[in-house]
């Protein structure tokens, strides 16, 4: 199967919704599952950087056996709109996520957040703590997110792309080979990442002139510094149950990140995934999805 066919098949799984003036690509298992999902619990997923909802192609069907699964491409990612004149603030990404979930009738979801998505989740928690969140959250699951940005070990490419002066030039030179090299470097076992997967991820990244916005969306790590008190404070204050699912060999969101989060939060449990790197849903999909399903049901 060609990269283009893989990418096209993923596009066919979802549909676009107009949210806050932008077309957002959404996969909702309620629309595609053969199982009646009317009364099923909801699992809303916030994906990471610089990829898309495609990160979950190996686990979507497993999750859909138990949940109504909703996952969207953030603005600027995957098959969603990629406006060139836009801030790509995580605060606005949060507005989009909450507006989307409200439009889909989400009631009381478990929210699973990975990488970039964990910062959107902490903004959601800040609003929830203030009593101004538009949804009632059942539980949150955190996975490989460098919320404590001071502990993160950013890759050289991340640092170059987020640079206001160098970023646009680096983005123009960035290619599929460089993407594959950088992704493999953050796997525990790089053999688990196929060339077809790299090709499909690349096609979704550059879809709709995506190369023109990657430098802008790369600057999100500065917001983690700017809103540190608000977002880490939200984690510390929330009364919601928190399940921390963390691969022990992540070279970016290092293991210390997980232990610090467990220590500073009130109702949290830390669950280690052995021998996996930064994208466990792609590298170790069976073990990771089983662990996520187990912790999602914990009371």
pLDDT at position 32 is 66
Q: Averaged over 46-75, what is the pLDDT?
A: 98
pLDDT digits (tens, 9 = 90+) for 164-217: 999 999 999 999 999 999 999 999 999 999 999 999 999 999 999 999 999 999
Please report the pLDDT score of residue 71 as a whole number.
98
CA distance 275 to 245: 13
**175-185 tens-digit pLDDT:** 999 999 999 99
Average pLDDT value for residue range 249-270: 97
Per-residue pLDDT band for 3 (boundaries 50, 70, 90) equals confident
Q: What are the tens digits of pLDDT across the range 131-158?
A: 999 899 999 999 999 999 999 999 999 9
Q: Report whether pLDDT(85) > 60.
A: yes
Which superfamily, per CATH, for 3-296? Answer: Alpha/Beta hydrolase fold, catalytic domain (3.40.50.1820)
Within 8 A by CB and 6+ apart from 118, the residues are 46, 142, 143, 144, 145, 146, 147
pLDDT of residue 134: 87
Separation of alpha carbons 50 and 217, rounded Å:
8
Question: Which of the four pLDDT bands, split at 50, 70 and 90, describes residue 35?
Answer: low
Distance between CA atoms of residues 296 and 299, nearest Å: 8
Confidence label for 1 from pLDDT (cuts 50, 70 and 90): low
Asked if the bond preceding 50 is cis, omega within 30° of 0, the reply is yes
- Distance, in Å, from the CA atom of 267 to the CA atom of 98, rounded to the nearest integer, reads 23
Residue 199's φ and ψ, nearest 5 degrees, are -60, -40
What average pLDDT score do residues 88-103 get?
Answer: 98
The full set of domain ranges for the chain reads 3-296
Whole-prediction pTM: 0.96
Residue 31's pLDDT is 80
Long-range contacts of 193-198 (CB under 8 A, 24+ apart): 193/282, 193/283, 196/1, 196/2, 196/3, 196/6, 197/6, 197/282
Is the predicted pLDDT of residue 33 greater than 80, yes or no? no
- Mean pLDDT of the 18-36 span: 86
Three-state secondary structure call for residue 139: strand
């Amino acid at each position: 199967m060609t990269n283009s066919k893989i990418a096209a098949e993923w596009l066919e799984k979802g549909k676009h919704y107009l949210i806050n003036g932008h077309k957002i690509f959404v996969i909702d298992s309620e629309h595609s599952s053969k199982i009646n999902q009317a009364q099923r619990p909801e699992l809303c997923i916030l994906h990471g950087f610089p990829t898309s909802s495609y990160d979950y192609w190996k686990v979507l069907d497993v999750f859909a056996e138990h949940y109504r699964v909703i996952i969207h491409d953030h603005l600027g990612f995957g098959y969603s709109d990629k406006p060139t004149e836009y801030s790509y603030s995580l605060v606005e990404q949060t507005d989009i996520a909450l507006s989307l979930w409200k439009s889909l009738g989400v009631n009381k979801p478990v929210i699973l957040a990975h990488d970039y998505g964990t910062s959107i989740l902490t903004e959601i928690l800040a609003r929830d703590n203030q009593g101004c969140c538009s949804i009632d959250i059942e539980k949150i699951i955190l996975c490989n997110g460098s919320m404590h940005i001071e502990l993160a070990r950013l890759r050289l490419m991340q640092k170059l792309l987020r640079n206001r002066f160098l970023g646009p030039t680096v983005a123009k030179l960035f290619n599929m080979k460089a993407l594959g090299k950088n992704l493999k470097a953050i796997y525990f076992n790089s053999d688990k990442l196929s060339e077809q997967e790299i090709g499909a991820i690349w096609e979704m990244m550059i879809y709709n002139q995506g190369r023109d916005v990657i430098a802008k969306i790369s600057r999100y790590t500065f917001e983690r510094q700017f809103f540190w008190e608000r977002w880490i404070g939200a984690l510390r204050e929330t009364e919601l149950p928190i399940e921390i699912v963390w691969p022990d060999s992540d070279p970016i969101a290092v293991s210390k990140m997980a232990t610090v989060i467990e220590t500073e939060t009130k109702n949290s449990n830390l669950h280690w995934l052995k021998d996996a790197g930064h994208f466990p849903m792609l590298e170790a999909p069976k073990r990771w999805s089983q662990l996520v399903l187990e912790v999602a049901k914990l009371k």
